């Protein structure tokens, strides 16, 4: 196909979560992988369900992940407007065509009458179908009543780029509403009109629409519109894999992951891999690799499991991979919108304006802890370099770094509660620390380096007949009073001889 055009068409009815983002990401990857365009269209035709601010949230989420779109409600494009509530005249025009062709009719029935039809069908043990109740002489459509499609029930066979060859019998087809009595189109009608007018080539969307496919195919024919390529994505399942992912299972607002210290690279990698792989064992993919390798025919047909532990692992992997300056820059801002814009492939006035207007929360401005924040850039970078490999998220930074910037208060309960260390008696703990402290004190300032420290520590192990988790664990606590910290000798080098010895003494005094 010469010009690939995909779209993400969310309804602004709430916070966007991983399921919605995966749909957007796959559509984006198809477009970017084939030199096509990616369009954002807001489907805001259900006024009752609309949530204020949800449209901005969608835009912010896409920006934060770097899923840039070529056309959309805030940036315009050749097929503007990209908000369905601003396109009512388009739906109206297509509706008039259907009426003129005898393929749509004003629905003459009241809800009570429809209820009666339903009850009658139930009594007769037959499925209720609107098409069995077509009015013989429908009123002229005045735009105040619902407009129904006059379907042409028949069997369908079609191909879905993910689900393969599908079919459905004529019983799946009915006269559905095109335009509601409030003047707004239904999703069923509006998306087909818009996809056609916006020259969308691939309709990539969730599984919830697949049952309506026969109706859509019927409407494409009535409108004389060529079918696009369909790709239906299976549900994302909860961690146990036994039901659709819901908010309760951790389907959080995607921006919350940024606030919690997840990287864009890890989120994109993780979301892409929920239901897709390249056929190898590879798990870590950069955005560019995904663009090069993604294809719809390798998307799985059954639901993908949402495994937050895997995301955490991936995030740690991505934190390790970043070069120090890049990682450092990301620790300085929790303002995902602003930092995403800096990384975005495209920069334009619209985006800059968007960033300038993005909400800023000063209390959340940075990932460093209270003391780390006051340190110089050089000090922060030194600390970051040695904790980098242990960070699972940027939010781990204070726990892993505060003790470098300020002397921690000894808290022996941490040792008492520790599985192995807690088993030693207090005397034994103090003896071990005391020996360690006097041995370390014999190392000169000039010899205070990782290699010497490591070999002294090893000697100490055999001299005290202790094991690394015990002896090193104890020293580690005495220096950091933190639940986890980098390698002991690295930590001691960064703290420096004087501070290391002072902390050991302080801990012993306690």
Burial of 246 (0-12, 13-18, 19+ CB in 10 A): exposed
Nearest of 262, 369, 385, 259 to residue 316 by alpha carbon:
262
What are the angstrom distances between the C-alpha of 482 and each of 119, 340, 497? 68, 32, 19
CA–CA dist 16, 254 (Å, integer): 6
CB 162 within 8 A of CB 301: yes
57, 87, 103, 191: residue in contact with ligand GLU (rule CB under 6 A): 191
Interaction mask 33-52, ligand GLU, x per CB under 6 A? ----------x---------
By C-beta, is 180 or 321 nearer to ligand GLU? 180
| 234 lies in the site for ligand GLU, by CB under 6 A | no
| 261 lies in the site for ligand GLU, by CB under 6 A | no
By C-beta, is 5 or 191 nearer to ligand GLU? 191
H, E, C per residue of 141-185: CCCCCCEEECCCCCCEEEEECCCEEEEECHHHCCCCEEECCCCCE
By C-beta, is 206 or 250 nearer to ligand GLU? 206
Please report which helix (H) or strand (E) contains residue 416, including its range. helix 413-417
CA–CA dist 384, 382 (Å, integer): 5
Smallest gap from residue 354 Cβ to ligand GLU (A): 22
4, 9, 147, 268: residue in contact with ligand GLU (rule CB under 6 A): 9
By C-beta, is 201 or 335 nearer to ligand GLU? 201
| 61 lies in the site for ligand GLU, by CB under 6 A | no
| 190 lies in the site for ligand GLU, by CB under 6 A | no
| 210 lies in the site for ligand GLU, by CB under 6 A | no
Going through 22-161 in order, the beta strands assigned E by DSSP cover 37-40, 104-106, 147-149, 156-160
Smallest gap from residue 206 Cβ to ligand GLU (A): 6
CA–CA dist 369, 381 (Å, integer): 14
By C-beta, is 27 or 421 nearer to ligand GLU? 27
Q: Does the annotation count 247 as an active-site position? A: yes
Smallest gap from residue 43 Cβ to ligand GLU (A): 4
Interaction mask 136-175, ligand GLU, x per CB under 6 A? ----------------------------------------
CA–CA dist 506, 348 (Å, integer): 56
| 187 lies in the site for ligand GLU, by CB under 6 A | yes
**Among residues 126, 154, 243, 247, which one is catalytic?**
247
Nearest of 510, 441, 509, 437 to residue 471 by alpha carbon:
437
Annotated catalytic residues are 247
């Amino acid at each position: 196909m010469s010009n690939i055009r995909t779209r993400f068409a969310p309804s602004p009815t709430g916070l966007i979560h991983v399921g919605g983002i995966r749909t957007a990401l796959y559509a984006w990857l198809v477009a970017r992988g084939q030199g096509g365009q990616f369009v954002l269209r807001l489907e805001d035709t259900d006024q009752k369900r609309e949530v204020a601010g949800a449209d901005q949230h969608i835009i912010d989420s896409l920006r934060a992940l770097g899923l840039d779109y070529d056309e959309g409600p805030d940036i315009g494009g050749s097929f503007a407007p990209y908000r369905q509530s601003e396109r009512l005249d388009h739906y109206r025009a297509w509706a008039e065509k259907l009426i003129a062709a005898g393929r749509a009719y004003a629905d003459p029935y009241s809800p009570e009458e429809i209820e009666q039809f339903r009850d009658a069908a139930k009594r007769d043990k037959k499925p209720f179908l609107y098409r069995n109740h077509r009015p013989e002489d429908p009123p002229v459509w005045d735009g105040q009543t619902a407009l129904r499609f006059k379907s042409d029930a028949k069997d369908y066979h079609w191909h879905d780029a993910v689900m393969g060859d599908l079919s459905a019998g004529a019983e799946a087809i009915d006269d559905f509403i095109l335009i509601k009595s409030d003047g707004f189109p239904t999703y069923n009608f509006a998306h087909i009109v818009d996809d056609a007018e916006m020259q969308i080539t691939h309709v990539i969307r969730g599984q919830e629409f697949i049952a309506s496919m026969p109706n859509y195919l019927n409407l494409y024919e009535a409108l004389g519109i060529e079918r696009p390529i369909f790709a239906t994505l299976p549900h994302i399942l909860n961690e146990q894999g036994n039901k659709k992912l819901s908010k309760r299972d951790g389907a959080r607002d995607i921006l919350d992951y940024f606030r919690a210290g997840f990287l864009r690279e890890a989120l994109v990698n993780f979301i892409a891999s929920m239901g897709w792989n390249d056929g190898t064992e590879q798990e870590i993919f950069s955005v560019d690799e995904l663009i090069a390798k993604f294809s719809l025919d390798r998307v799985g047909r059954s639901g993908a499991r949402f495994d937050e532990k895997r995301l955490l692992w991936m995030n740690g992997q991505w934190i390790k991979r970043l070069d120090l300056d890049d990682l450092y820059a990301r620790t300085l801002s929790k303002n995902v919108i602003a930092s995403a814009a800096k990384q975005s492939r495209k920069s334009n006035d619209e985006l800059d304006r968007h960033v300038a207007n993005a909400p800023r929360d000063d209390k959340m401005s940075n990932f460093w802890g209270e003391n780390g924040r006051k340190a110089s850039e050089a000090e922060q970078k030194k600390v970051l370099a040695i904790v980098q490999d242990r960070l699972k998220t940027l939010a781990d930074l204070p726990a892993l770094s505060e003790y470098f910037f300020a002397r921690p208060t000894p808290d022996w309960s941490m040792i008492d509660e520790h599985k192995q260390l807690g088993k030693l008696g207090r005397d034994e703990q103090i003896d071990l620390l005391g020996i360690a402290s006097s041995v370390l004190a014999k190392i000169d300032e000039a010899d205070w380096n990782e290699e010497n420290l490591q070999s002294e520590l090893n000697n100490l192990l055999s001299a005290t007949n202790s094991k690394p988790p015990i002896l090193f664990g104890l020293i580690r606590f005495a220096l950091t009073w933190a639940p986890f910290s980098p390698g002991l000798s690295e930590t001691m080098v960064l703290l420096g001889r004087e501070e290391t010895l002072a902390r050991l003494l302080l801990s012993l005094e306690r």
